[in-house]
Amino acid sequence: MAENIKDEFHLGNKLIHVLIFRCFEMTDYDLTNNEKKVLLALNELETAELKDIVEISSLNGDASMQAAFLLEEKGLAKVDEETTELYGLSGEGKEYAEAGLPERQIIDSLEGETPLEDLRNSFSPQLVGIATGWLLKKKWAKIEDGVLVPADSAPKGQDEEVLSDLYENSLENNTFDPVFELPAELASEKVISDLLKRKLLDKEEYTTRRILITAAGKSYASKGIEITEEIAQITPELLKSGDWENKYYRPYKVQKPVKPIYGAKAHPYQRLIDQMRQIFLEMGFTEIKGDIIQSSFWNFDALFQPQDHPAREMQDTFHLDSRSETPEKYVDKIRAVHENGGETGSCGWGGRWSSEIAEKDVLRTHTTSVTVKYLADNPVGPVKAFCIDRAYRRETIDPTHTPEFEQLEGVVMDKDMSFADLLGCLKEFYNRMGFEEVRFRPGYFPYTEPSVEPEVWIDGLGWVELGGAGVFRKEVTTPLGITEPVLAWGLGVSRVAMLKLGLKDLRELYQSDIDWLRKSEIGKGI
Ligand SMILES: N[C@@H](Cc1ccccc1)C(=O)O
């Protein structure tokens, strides 16, 4: 044992030396102990089946086989595969072995020329059908004008030999399973393949491996193979006793492929959402949340969407049975703005606005319902708020449409806010997301004027539309008691994800494909 630090240091060094250098101290062939054991067994047996090696080497079958293949790679052994074909009679084969092949049954029954018609009376038409083909093929008979004319003789064929041979063997061995070899002298390959085609035989293949020692293997073995105990794990006992110094350490296989390790990480879509959230937070916005279930009032009416607007119809919206009372504070004002423009100076949509319809609950079709409600609660600026959350529409699912999807909603309310500020703000956001070129096309939404649709340039795709934006109309702001200009937008999030992650199908975002998630690289795209 080491007595002082210096000794311990010395001991440590020596140990490292032994561990490193003994690992690389290898024989010419660098055989593992398993390979050595198999080679020794082979040296004794010359040629062996796996089970013989298993017996001598005391390794299991898999380990022996693996070692044999490694020895083969090194030219010390050779692995030969031998396939044995085993046969038995099928149900039909057994029947014919007992009663004779159909052609034999017919030919034996003939007493001279016989019309086929007559045969069909004494045998099944099916059997006659099978038999005639083979009678002609085997030249046991001819057919002339529907009459079967037998040849002089019908010698027993190899096929019949095979059937009776297998039948006897099966009876003797008490099994009709395919366990019998067919010696080459009994039947030609053609005969066997015909019987197989006639489905009279069952066949099974059975592969055995023979392992042989090569000349190189022999000469290597003749020099004497020593199997030294390998230490895989060093123990305190080995260290204490000092025995470690004389041991042989199992070498590291540095070439061995390791299992991939996947670090835990957030879902790529979640990472993208977090990135968007981070950008808006950095731009001084406050994150807001709202209910998934909204009344039609907040989802549509407060946004000056007429009650006969197509977006409110069944195919777009998930309608619920429940209702929410329309807020008393706004209901008259909203009615007025829809019917005649109220205090806004607009003429409204005309007709009669129904608070019954406004009460109906829906799954929010856009997150604008969240921002507009927030503005109603906070009608005095400055407000800079965003909401990144899920919206729902009755869409037919396809690669670019899912009934649930995320939107990035935002509002800015302040005294001197202008349309130019809106464009600047969105451009800044997309630039921070890594989209360098941004443009705005005129758009239409019932609640904004002017309205735009932002687009970003993607190499290979061109301009891609990413949502809607605009300045809230007086018809939206006035009934809620808002006097300052409001810039608003609702942007598609999954579209951006498709672009960033290179997806062709939106549905991939919502499927739990663990491999895709594991292999997704952080920093790639997002
Ligand atoms: N709500 C719109 C987007 C939008 C929001 C705000 C202002 C203008 C447009 C949509 O879902 O497509």
Enumerate the known binding-site residues for Mg(2+). Answer: 449
Q: Is 349 in the pocket of ligand 1 (CB under 6 A)?
A: no
pLDDT at 140: 95
Q: Which atom of ligand 1 is nearest to the CA of 391?
A: 11
Enumerate the known binding-site residues. Answer: 368, 407-409, 447, 449, 472
pLDDT at 499: 85
Q: Is 445 in the pocket of ligand 1 (CB under 6 A)?
A: yes
Q: What is the pTM of this model?
A: 0.57
Q: Is 412 in the pocket of ligand 1 (CB under 6 A)?
A: no
Q: Rounded distance, CA 335 to CA 342, Å?
A: 8
The one-letter amino acid code at 92 reads: E
Q: Rounded distance, CA 426 to CA 433, Å?
A: 11
Joined together, the tokens standing for residue 220 give 């290597």
CB 290 within 8 A of CB 373: yes
Cα(271) to centroid(ligand 1), Å: 23
Residue 3 pLDDT > 60: no
The dihedral through the CA atoms of 191, 192, 193, 195 has a sign that is positive
**Burial of residue 171, with CB atoms counted within 10 A of its CB: 0-12 exposed, 13-18 middle, 19 or more buried:** exposed
Cα(285) to centroid(ligand 1), Å: 18
Distances (CA, A) of 169 to 41, 181, 288: 37, 10, 85
Residue 471 pLDDT > 70: yes
Percent of the chain with pLDDT over 70: 94
Residue 25 pLDDT > 50: no
Give the pLDDT band (50/70/90) at residue 169.
very high
Using the CB atoms, write b or e for 360-392: b if 16+ within 10 Å.
bbbbbbbbbbbbbbbbbebeebebbbbbbbebb
pLDDT at 231: 85
Q: Is 470 in the pocket of ligand 1 (CB under 6 A)?
A: yes
Residue 94 pLDDT > 60: yes
pLDDT in tens, 127-141: 999 999 999 999 999
Q: What is the overall mean pLDDT for the chain? A: 90
| Strands across the sheet containing 114-115 | 114-115, 147-150, 141-144
Q: Of 375, 374, 403, 406, which Cα lies nearest the Cα of 490?
A: 406
Residue 310 pLDDT > 90: no
Among 69-73, 186-190, 271-275, 320-324, the minimum mean pLDDT is found in: 186-190
- Of all protein residues, the one whose alpha carbon is nearest to atom 11 of ligand 1 is 366
pLDDT at 5: 62
Residue 333 pLDDT > 60: yes
Q: Which atom of ligand 1 is nearest to the CA of 491?
A: 3
pLDDT in tens, 42-66: 998 878 888 888 888 889 989 999 9
Output phi, psi for 127, to 5 deg: -65, -40
Residue from 366, 387, 426, 487 whose mutation best tests the ligand 1 pocket (most atoms within 8 A of CB): 366
pLDDT in tens, 431-460: 999 999 999 999 999 999 999 999 998 888
Joined together, the tokens standing for residue 118 give 């007559």
ipTM of this predicted structure: 0.98
Q: Cis bond leading into 260, ω under 30°? A: no
Residue from 374, 405, 445 whose mutation best tests the ligand 1 pocket (most atoms within 8 A of CB): 445
Angle at CA 362, nearest 5°, toward 360 and 363? 165
Which residue's entry shows tokens 């044992």? 1
Joined together, the tokens standing for residue 163 give 């059937």
Cα(468) to centroid(ligand 1), Å: 5
Distances (CA, A) of 318 to 181, 308, 322: 70, 16, 12
pLDDT at 26: 44
Cα(489) to centroid(ligand 1), Å: 5
pLDDT at 447: 95
CB 300 within 8 A of CB 309: yes
Mean pLDDT: which of 9-13, 263-267, 285-289 is highest? Answer: 285-289
Q: Tell me the CB-side half-sphere exposure of residue 81, using CA atoms within 13 A.
A: 6
Cα(293) to centroid(ligand 1), Å: 18
pLDDT at 206: 86
Q: Is 38 in the pocket of ligand 1 (CB under 6 A)?
A: no
Mean pLDDT computed over 10-23: 60
CB count, 10 Å around CB of 412? 24
Where is 364: in which H helix or E strand?
none
Q: Is 39 in the pocket of ligand 1 (CB under 6 A)?
A: no
Cα(369) to centroid(ligand 1), Å: 10
Cα(65) to centroid(ligand 1), Å: 67
Q: Of 293, 294, 309, which Cα lies nearest the Cα of 353?
A: 309
Enumerate the known binding-site residues for L-phenylalanine. Answer: 368, 407-409, 447, 472
Joined together, the tokens standing for residue 273 give 């959402």
Q: Which atom of ligand 1 is nearest to the CA of 365?
A: 11
Tell me which of 184 and 483 has the higher pLDDT: 483
Q: Is 492 in the pocket of ligand 1 (CB under 6 A)?
A: no
pLDDT at 12: 65
Q: Is 448 in the pocket of ligand 1 (CB under 6 A)?
A: yes
pLDDT in tens, 338-395: 999 999 999 999 999 999 999 999 999 999 999 999 999 999 989 999 999 999 999 8
CB 361 within 8 A of CB 293: yes
Cα(407) to centroid(ligand 1), Å: 9
Joined together, the tokens standing for residue 389 give 């959350």
Angle at CA 335, nearest 5°, toward 331 and 340? 150
Q: Is 489 in the pocket of ligand 1 (CB under 6 A)?
A: yes
pLDDT at 19: 58
Q: Is 364 in the pocket of ligand 1 (CB under 6 A)?
A: no
Mean pLDDT: which of 75-89, 250-264, 406-420 is highest? Answer: 406-420
Residue 267 pLDDT > 70: yes
Cα(366) to centroid(ligand 1), Å: 7
- Of all protein residues, the one whose alpha carbon is nearest to atom 6 of ligand 1 is 489
